[in-house]
Structure 1
Amino acid sequence: MPIVVDIDVMMARRKMSVGELADRVGITPANLAVLKNGRAKAVRFSTLAALCDVLDCQPGDLLRWEADDPAESEEAAVLP
């Protein structure tokens, strides 16, 4: 997926654990882990805003776009 989640980078800069961040944001540690590990399909703006508030950052500090590798895209297109 071309969207990369950098929540772990900001957590490390703030010396904050998953449990502490989840508690302060108001989501479960399991849901935060899904988001943090890039397995989420979507994120609510209210959750993104809460993450930014707690981590004192901008949305762009947590999410970034990376182009897909063209070689990977060609391989995927060839597979049945």
Structure 2
Amino acid sequence: MPVLVKLKNTRETKGFSQNELARRTGYSLQNIQKIEQGRAASITFEALGRFCKVLECQPGDILEWLPDDFDDKIHLPPATSEPSEEEIAIRGNSPKRTKHQHQTRMMIIDGNKGVA
């Protein structure tokens, strides 16, 4: 999954237990555990906002994007353009990828629904 939920790290850094975070946000302990264990299918903007308010942090302290593959990390231009010398040096002599070879997965964050 390209989006990592770092709620546990942020919560522990701020000195909160799971029980305290659940109590202050109004979410159940089971929902907090599900999110922290990576078993939640999604997190709503409302939930993210509650976590940020209670933990006094930014969404980026809780969520982190992880690229699916090497090309995502170096932000290559579309396969139809020629790579720069720097991109060739980083990628080596591997063949260019077509735009159909890239797959994108994301965690859905829906402000209209509760924590799943």
Instruction: Give the equivalent residue in structure 2 for 1:43.
Output: 43
Cα distance in 2 between the residues matched to 1:63 and 1:43: 10
Runs of 4+ in 1 over 6 A off after TM superposition: none
Larger radius of gyration: 2
* 1: CA distance, partners of 2:57 / 2:18: 17
CA contact (8 A) 1:19 1:29 kept: yes
- How many equivalent residue pairs? 70
TM score, norm. by length of structure 1: 0.79
* Same amino acid, percent of matched pairs: 39
3-state SS in 2 of match to 1:42: coil
CA distance in 1, matches of 2:39, 2:68: 16
Deviations 1:56-77 (A, max 9, x none): 001110001102357xxxxxxx
Match of 2:57 in 1: 57
**RMSD value over aligned CA atoms?**
1.3
Q: Which stretch of structure 1 is more off in the superposition, 28-37 or 50-59?
A: 28-37
- What is the match of residue 11 of structure 2? 11
Residues 5 and 64 in structure 1, CA contact (< 8 A), matched pair in contact too:
yes
**Does the CA contact (< 8 Å) of 1:5 and 1:37 recur in 2?**
no
SS in 1 for 2:64: strand
Deviations 1:15-47 (A, max 9, x none): 110010011011001111111122211111111
- Structure 1: state its 5+ residue gaps: 71-80
Q: Which residue of 2 aligns with 1:73?
A: none
Q: TM-score, normalised by structure 2?
A: 0.56
